[in-house]
């Protein structure tokens, strides 16, 4: 077995009325959506940061600056593909991804299978190696007031 490394990722975005809400590559029906330079997919951004951190490749902002128009409105699934290519260049493959989304609404449980399918395809791994969970913030703070959404992710990568 090669060297094993673990990474941690976190992302947060504001929710804005009448804005698309993309999470895990899935467009959710909701009155408000995550706002950002790309598609503001907090789940994929947290996963990207976890993978980049594990491979000691800095963070998502370093590779995909919000001042660079190439990334304006881009699907974060494409960002994930770029990240996977970067870690592969360093000789790593993904062992697994475990992620948590924290939001009050909408409920994402029905969408998790589709999210896993999109992420598995973009990351070139099995859906069995991806765990996505959700929780609320018990109506406390900016998450509880539905002003924002947060995602956390950990991953394991290993040398090929």
Query: Containing H/E element for 85?
Result: helix 76-89
Query: What one-character DSSP code corresponds to residue 138?
Result: T
Q: What is the mean pLDDT of residues 99-119?
A: 97
Q: What is the mean pLDDT of residues 15-26?
A: 96
Total-model pTM: 0.96
pLDDT of 9 higher than 60: yes
Residues in the annotated binding site: 11-13, 37-38, 45, 59-61, 64-68, 135-138, 142, 145
Beta strands 130-135 and 92-102 are parallel
Exposed/middle/buried for residue 73 (C-beta within 10 Å: 0-12, 13-18, 19+) = exposed
Say what percent of the chain tops pLDDT 70: 99
- pLDDT the model gives residue 160: 84
Query: What one-character DSSP code corresponds to residue 55?
Result: T
* pLDDT band with cut points at 50, 70 and 90 for residue 99: very high
Residues in the annotated binding site for a divalent metal cation: 11, 13, 45
From residue 38, how far is each of 20, 64, 67, 77, 127 by CA, in Å? 12, 9, 11, 11, 24
pLDDT of 1 higher than 60: no
Q: What is the mean pLDDT of residues 100-120?
A: 97
Report d(CA 152, CA 141) in Å as an integer: 17
Q: What is the mean pLDDT of residues 6-25?
A: 97
The domain defined by 4-159 folds into: 60s Ribosomal Protein L30; Chain: A; (3.30.1330)
Exposed/middle/buried for residue 52 (C-beta within 10 Å: 0-12, 13-18, 19+) = buried
- pLDDT the model gives residue 71: 86
Domain borders along the chain are: 4-159
- pLDDT the model gives residue 69: 85
* pLDDT band with cut points at 50, 70 and 90 for residue 70: confident
pLDDT of 40 higher than 80: yes
Nearest to 99 by CA among 57, 155, 137, 56: 155
């Amino acid at each position: 077995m090669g060297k094993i490394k673990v990474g941690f990722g976190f992302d947060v975005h504001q929710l804005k009325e009448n804005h698309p809400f993309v999470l895990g590559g899935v467009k959710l029906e909701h009155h408000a959506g995550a706002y950002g330079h790309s598609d503001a997919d907090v789940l994929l951004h947290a996963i990207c940061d976890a993978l980049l951190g594990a491979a000691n490749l800095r963070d998502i902002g370093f590779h995909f600056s919000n001042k660079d128009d190439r990334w304006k409105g881009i699907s974060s699934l494409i960002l994930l593909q770029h990240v996977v290519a970067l870690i592969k260049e360093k000789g790593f493959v993904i062992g697994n991804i475990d992620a948590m989304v924290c939001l009050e609404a909408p409920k994402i449980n029905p969408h998790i299978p589709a999210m896993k399918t999109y992420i598995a395809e973009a990351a070139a791994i099995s859906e069995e190696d991806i765990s996505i969970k959700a929780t609320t913030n018990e109506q406390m703070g900016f998450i509880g007031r539905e002003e924002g959404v947060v995602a956390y992710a950990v991953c394991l990568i290993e040398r090929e």
